[in-house]
Chain A
Amino acid sequence: KQEVTQIPAALSVPEGENLVLNCSFTDSAIYNLQWFRQDPGKGLTSLLLIQSSQREQTSGRLNASLDKSSGRSTLYIAASQPGDSATYLCAVIRQGAQKLVFGQGTRLTINP
């Protein structure tokens, strides 16, 4: 059974800092991994998707890496801003499956 773990559970940093969020998964036979953002009481916004054959994806100030063999992914946020405050979720799809398995999320707070 695939399990996805995110560390830390919560993170608070001053504005402008670069930061890294971590995600680990137990079954390396994944199809892809996604990072999502969730604002309080809202749905999910997809940030980055990494195929199992890829090692990283970039979008603006965000960079996600994937090390499938070790079961790890990181989300790097450069020059953090207060608007980046949200919960960040990673999720994987197993090969041959339809459903996403989510981590518990990291609640990020960027202080002005």
Chain B
Amino acid sequence: GAVVSQHPSRVICKSGTSVKIECRSLDFQATTMFWYRQFPKQSLMLMATSNEGSKATYEQGVEKDKFLINHASLTLSTLTVTSAHPEDSSFYICSARALGGSNEKLFFGSGTQLSVL
């Protein structure tokens, strides 16, 4: 089946630094990628939707200048948490929709646990 690789799986950083998370579709082309965040014992909340070659669409309440999303190719999307603060500590997951696929075929990365000290 399709594989989405997400790196790093875990990152610890100091407050004020920036962290980049990568999401790659390994064996298919992803026209659309979604970025979610998940707090402990809570559900996934969509942060933004990115389409290859265009600007990401952010959900209400998500700061686009803080969470920079780049979808430069059909196999790679990145999320950069800029000037991270402890409240940004969370589990971030990406998902990818296959090119030509219906909305129902979404493949998820394994997630990134971000801890900001």
Contacts and interface: CB of A to CB of B under 8 A. Distances in A.
Contact of B46 (A34, A44, A100): A100
B91 A44 contact: no
B93 A44 contact: yes
A100 B113 contact: no
Given A32-B104, A42-B110, A89 B32 contact: no
Interface string B74-115: 000000000000000001010101000001101011110100
B51 to A, nearest CB: 10
Contacts of B44: 44, 89, 91, 100, 102
Given A41-B91, A89-B43, A31 B103 contact: yes
A98 B110 contact: no
Contacts of A99: 34, 46, 49
A1 B81 CA distance: 28
Contacts, number: 57
A99 B97 CA distance: 11
A38 B46 CA distance: 16
Given A43-B93, A89-B44, A100 B110 contact: no
A93 interface: yes
Contacts of A45: 108
Contacts of A100: 34, 44, 46, 106
A97 B6 CA distance: 25
A4 B109 CA distance: 22
Contacts of B113: 41
A41 B111 contact: yes
Contacts of A105: 41, 43
B42 interface: yes
B111 A43 contact: yes
Interface of A: 4, 31-32, 34, 36, 41-46, 49, 51, 89, 91, 93, 97-105, 107
Given A42-B111, A43-B4, A89-B44, 8 more contacts: A4-B43, A32-B104, A36-B108, A98-B32, A100-B34, A102-B43, A104-B43, A105-B41
